[in-house]
């Protein structure tokens, strides 16, 4: 019984360390594709210190299932360099991240978008099906259904992030004119 408590304590400590080290990040989304009785997922997040390229501390390479019946969803840095976790820098302009899929069998697939860590309020997120150009605003956890054809390593969706709108307010002044004209 004492051994079980030690193992449980170690497991709780490991989970606590993992969660607390990951919880410093915000702006993280899990995008899952479900179909053909299987599922796969990818993560997109914005992290201070990340770059557009591969960052060993933040990104993870994608391992495609050897089972040919499993659908896959992922991002790419360049063709052939596919990611399961794609950490990007905080954006100062609007960006779209292309999501690629491997679809084993034509049919209906569900894409679930889960906001793991809340997006800063000044950003807006949307999702675009590239084949139909249908555009959906993402406001929290979202589930979308698509009819997809069998394909390999195909650009299928765009995950769009609209950056904060920067505004400048200038109060008008009247110089040597007190009649209100500008």
- 112-116, 130-134, 141-145, 171-175: least confident range: 171-175
* H/E segment holding residue 110: strand 107-117
* H/E segment holding residue 5: helix 2-22
User: Which residues does 33 contact at the CB level (< 8 Å), separation at least 6?
Assistant: 39, 40, 41, 71, 72, 73, 101, 109, 110, 111
> pTM of this prediction?
0.75
pLDDT bucket at 140, cuts 50 / 70 / 90? confident
pLDDT tens-digit map of 12-47: 434 434 443 444 446 889 999 999 999 999 999 988
């Amino acid at each position: 019984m004492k051994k079980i408590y030690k193992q449980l304590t170690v497991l709780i400590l490991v989970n606590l360390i993992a969660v607390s080290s990951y919880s410093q990040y915000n702006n993280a989304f899990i995008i899952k594709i479900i179909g053909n009785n299987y599922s796969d997922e990818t993560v997109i997040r914005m992290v201070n210190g990340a770059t557009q390229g591969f960052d060993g501390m933040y990104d993870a390479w994608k391992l495609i299932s050897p089972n040919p019946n499993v659908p896959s969803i992922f991002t790419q840095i360049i063709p052939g360099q596919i990611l399961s976790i794609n950490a990007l820098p905080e954006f100062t302009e609007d960006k779209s991240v292309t999501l690629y899929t491997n679809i084993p069998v034509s049919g209906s697939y569900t894409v679930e978008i889960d906001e793991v860590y809340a997006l800063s309020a000044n950003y807006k997120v949307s999702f675009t099906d590239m084949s139909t150009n249908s555009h959906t605003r993402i406001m929290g956890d979202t589930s979308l259904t698509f009819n997809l054809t069998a394909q390999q390593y195909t650009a299928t969706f765009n995950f769009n992030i609209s950056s904060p709108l920067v505004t400048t307010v200038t109060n008008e002044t009247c110089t040597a004119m007190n009649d209100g004209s500008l």
